[in-house]
Amino acid sequence: MPLLLFSFLLHTYIGVRLLPALGHWPLAQVLLGLLLLASTVLTPLGLTARRFKSQPLSDRLAWTGMLFMGLFSSLFVLTLLRDAALLAGLGVLAVAPAAFSLDAAAHNSAAAVPLAGLFMSFVGFFNARRTAAVVQVDVPIAGLPAALHGFSIAQISDIHVGPTIKQGYLQSIVSAVNALQVDMVAVTGDLVDGTVAELAHHVAPLAQLSSTHGTYFVTGNHEYYSGAHAWIAELQRLGIRVLMNEHVVLQHGQLHAQEALVLAGVADWSAAHFDASHRSDPHVALAGAPEAAAVRLLLAHQPRSAPAAAHAGFDLQLSGHTHGGQFWPWNFFVRFQQPFTAGLHRLQNLWVYTSRGTGYWGPPKRFGAPSEITHLRLVRP
């Protein structure tokens, strides 16, 4: 009920600001009113759909609710921007009374808001449901041995298998990754939104991932919402190596023993809130690694693990979590919670690559922040 009340208040704001201004178009007024009424009820249902034990019903409610949530988000933001623009218009008219008609601006902008919201939602749906595009990234590593020049990594992250992402969606991602023929695959967390009992069948395609050195996984915060211990066991059963504040040493090509690549992984930055033994620690993950290792690579779900990773002496950190903001305008707000939003950045001697994610969370919508399968290569500067 509190969630429904909150939804009612937010939707009421949109209705009060837009519906009276649509008086010249009665049909549009009625259609928008009905849409807001449906969204008021269905958006909260989408968030609570997992409470329904009937799986088909739960998924259908989640699908419907999340579609409305994505549309509502855009309508709410655009309505706020419209109000800000009209307020600025009042300031302009105070200086130049004949500059334009405020009534016409109010009517036209009220019609533009739902049209723009629907456009963003349709485009965002297409972008979210297509198989993520491959993004090529070269990472220059100082002192990289010749045998490691061109070492390739496929990174997938934040797929969020759950109510709206199922086996077929993941199978397409696996096929795209396998086509890259990489040296290793990194899965940097937030793989699932649901329990092993609900989703094991849909996650099974991960067992088909192929590469020279195998597939490695680190937990994200959503694994801890979904039963992290059970998921760790399930992924290990699928043949995926889960790195929990630990490392492996990869001997590649004609590398000398002292030129090995050290691959480490940490539990999610927030994992200790769920299990104290999973406290994320890049220093512990690197403990006992060869001191003369040619490259030290860390998998860490959240970019904010980077300062500790830099202090521990890593050369490259691969992260996700942010979704690049997923859809406008939230991409502008990620920076207030994470040091990096997307792409390759430098922190002291550490390179940090932050994936925009390979799936999506919540609304099936990506607008201005496309999903990606990242194909990284280690190269000599």
Residue 170 belongs to domain with CATH number: 3.60.21.10
Q: Which of 77, 109, 129 is the last residue of a domain?
A: 129
Q: Answer yes or no: do 274 and 202 share one domain.
A: yes
Q: Answer yes or no: do 335 and 357 share one domain.
A: yes
Q: What is the pLDDT of residue 292?
A: 83
Q: Which of 129, 162, 196 is the last residue of a domain?
A: 129
- What's the pTM value of the predicted model, to 2 decimals? 0.93
Q: Answer yes or no: do 148 and 294 share one domain.
A: yes
Q: Please, are residues 169 and 193 in contact by the beta-carbon 8 Å criterion?
A: no
Q: Answer yes or no: do 125 and 137 share one domain.
A: no
Q: Answer yes or no: do 148 and 99 share one domain.
A: no
Number of domains in the chain: 2
Q: Answer yes or no: do 209 and 101 share one domain.
A: no
Q: Which of 97, 129, 161 is the last residue of a domain?
A: 129
Q: Answer yes or no: do 184 and 98 share one domain.
A: no
Q: What is the mean pLDDT of each run of 10 residues along the chain (381 residues)?
A: 90 96 94 96 84 79 94 97 95 86 92 97 97 98 91 98 96 98 97 95 98 97 96 98 96 70 97 95 94 93 97 97 95 93 96 98 96 97 90
Domain that holds residue 31: 2-129
Q: Answer yes or no: do 249 and 355 share one domain.
A: yes
* Angle formed at CA 183 by CA 179 and CA 188, multiple of 5 degrees: 85
Structure tokens at 96: 């130049």
Q: What is the pLDDT of residue 259?
A: 72
Q: Answer yes or no: do 118 and 139 share one domain.
A: no
Q: What is the pLDDT of residue 47?
A: 80
Q: What is the pLDDT of residue 203?
A: 98
Q: Answer yes or no: do 95 and 138 share one domain.
A: no
Q: Answer yes or no: do 121 and 141 share one domain.
A: no
Q: Answer yes or no: do 84 and 149 share one domain.
A: no
Q: What is the pLDDT of residue 255?
A: 61
